[in-house]
Amino acid sequence: MTSLDDLLDLLPDNQEGGITAADLRTVVTALWNHAWVVTDYPFAYGWEEATVSWGQIFVPDWSEAGTTVVLSNTTRTGVATPYGLLGKPGTLLRVRDQGTDAAFVFKVTDPWTAGSERYTLHGVAQEVDGAAPQPGASMTVVIVGEWEA
C-alpha cells in the first residue's frame, strides 16, 4: 500500500493544474484497495461437517495437509461473506473455534468454486493448532486479503 504522504504528494494545491487524472486514479485505487483489506474482523460461523449451508463452515482435513475450506456465502449474523477476497490467491483465512481456541490458518491458492449457498476454497494449510471442532461449534473466520478492482 502506498503511504499517506505519497498519496498527498500527488495532490498539491491545484491552482496551476498540477493534478493529473493519473494522480487521481492512483489515489482512488490505493483507497479502494485499502478499504477492502479485511484484518482482525471476525465473521461468525457455525461448524458443520455434513452439508454446509447458511452461516456454516467446514474444513474437511483439519491438518497441515488440508487443501479445502467450505464456507457459507452468508455468516451466522446474516452478513454476506466478502467473496471478492476469497477468490484472490494469497488471501489468508484464520479459522478459530471459540470454545477450544483451536485454530486453522489457510492460504487460498486458486479461485473458489461457487455453489448455491457456499464457496469451496482451494489452497494450503499454513498453520494448525488444536483438534478439529465438534459439530455445532461456534467459529470465527478472519479474512486477510486485498481486493483488486
Looking at residue 85, its pLDDT comes to 67
Percent with pLDDT over 90 in the chain: 34
Residue 147 — pLDDT band, cuts 50, 70, 90? very low
**105 sits in which H/E element:** strand 103-114
- Higher pLDDT among residues 92 and 64, named by residue: 64
Domain residue limits, the chain: 4-35, 42-144
The model's pLDDT over 36-50, given as tens digits with 9 standing for 90+, comes to: 555 567 889 999 887
What rounded mean pLDDT belongs to the chain?
82
Q: What pTM did the predictor assign?
A: 0.70
Any bridge partners for residue 57, and if so which?
47, 71
Rounded Cα distance between 69 and 128, Å, is 13
- Single-letter residue type at 60: P
Looking at residue 12, its pLDDT comes to 78
Please say whether the beta carbons of 125 and 34 come within 8 A.
no
Task: Give the mean pLDDT of 92-102.
Answer: 92
Residue 137 has pLDDT above 90, yes or no: yes
Sorted by sequence, the CB contacts under 8 Å of residue 128 that are 6+ apart come out as 62, 63, 64, 66, 103, 104, 105
Looking at residue 59, its pLDDT comes to 94
How does strand 42-47 pair with strand 138-144?
A: antiparallel
